[in-house]
């Protein structure tokens, strides 16, 4: 499974209930969280944003959790042209998921969610954490406008 930065923030900063099942599965070792150094760097940068200050994120603790639980992999090659994200910053999440044949990419980013039907053909389900752990039997719904 690949988690985008917003999903990680939902878990580690906002304690969002929609990520609780995923977080528990990762913490218990039932689910492998795939990441690369670019994802860790983005999380570190994002934790320092002023817009998060009111939640008082514990950057050190969040990064320690990332380091302890994420399986760090090399930066992946870029995905085929038919699976390019309109947001270049989010492409790495898709690339890593495809390169390592992840079953799930959890995000609530519209640019990634719009690729759901095309990614589904490769065996990758791009969806929101609240939809996990339902096993997919059809392509996930597209992002809502």
Local structure of 27: helix, strand or coil:
helix
Q: What is the pTM of this model?
A: 0.89
Range of the domain at 81: 2-131
Residue 42 belongs to a domain with what CATH number? 3.40.50.1010
Q: Does residue 108 fall inside a structural domain?
A: yes
Q: How many domains does the chain have?
A: 1
The answer to whether the beta carbons of residues 96 and 35 sit under 8 Å apart is yes
Asked if residue 142 belongs to a domain, the reply is no
For residue range 82-96, list pLDDT tens digits in order: 788 888 899 999 999
Identify whether 88 is part of a domain: yes
Indicate whether 94 belongs to any domain: yes
Residue 144 covered by a domain: no
Q: Is residue 136 part of a domain?
A: no
Domain membership flag for residue 138? no
Residue 129, C-beta contacts closer than 8 angstroms, at least 6 positions apart: 3, 7, 10, 16, 18, 19, 21, 22, 106, 108
Numbers of helices and strands, H then E, in the chain: 7, 5
Residue recorded with tokens 């910053």:
89
The three-class DSSP label of residue 14 is coil
Summarised one tens digit per residue, pLDDT across range 47-89 is 999 999 999 999 999 999 999 999 999 999 887 667 888 888 9
User: Is residue 145 in some structural domain?
Assistant: no
Task: Put residue 71 in one of left, alpha, beta given phi > 0 → left and psi -120 to 50 → alpha.
Answer: beta
């Amino acid at each position: 499974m690949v988690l985008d930065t917003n999903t990680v923030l939902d878990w580690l900063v906002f304690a969002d209930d929609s990520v609780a099942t995923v977080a528990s599965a990762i913490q218990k070792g039932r689910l492998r969280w795939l990441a690369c150094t670019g994802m860790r760097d983005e999380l570190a940068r994002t934790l320092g944003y002023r817009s998060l200050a009111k939640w008082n994120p514990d950057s050190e603790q969040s990064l320690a959790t990332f380091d302890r639980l994420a399986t760090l992999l090399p930066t992946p090659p870029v995905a085929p042209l038919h699976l390019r994200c309109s947001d270049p910053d989010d492409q790495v999440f898709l690339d890593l998921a495809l390169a390592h044949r992840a079953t799930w990419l959890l995000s609530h980013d519209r640019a990634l969610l719009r690729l759901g039907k095309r990614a589904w053909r490769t065996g990758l389900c791009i969806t929101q954490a609240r939809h996990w752990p339902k096993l997919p039997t059809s392509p996930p719904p597209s992002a809502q406008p």
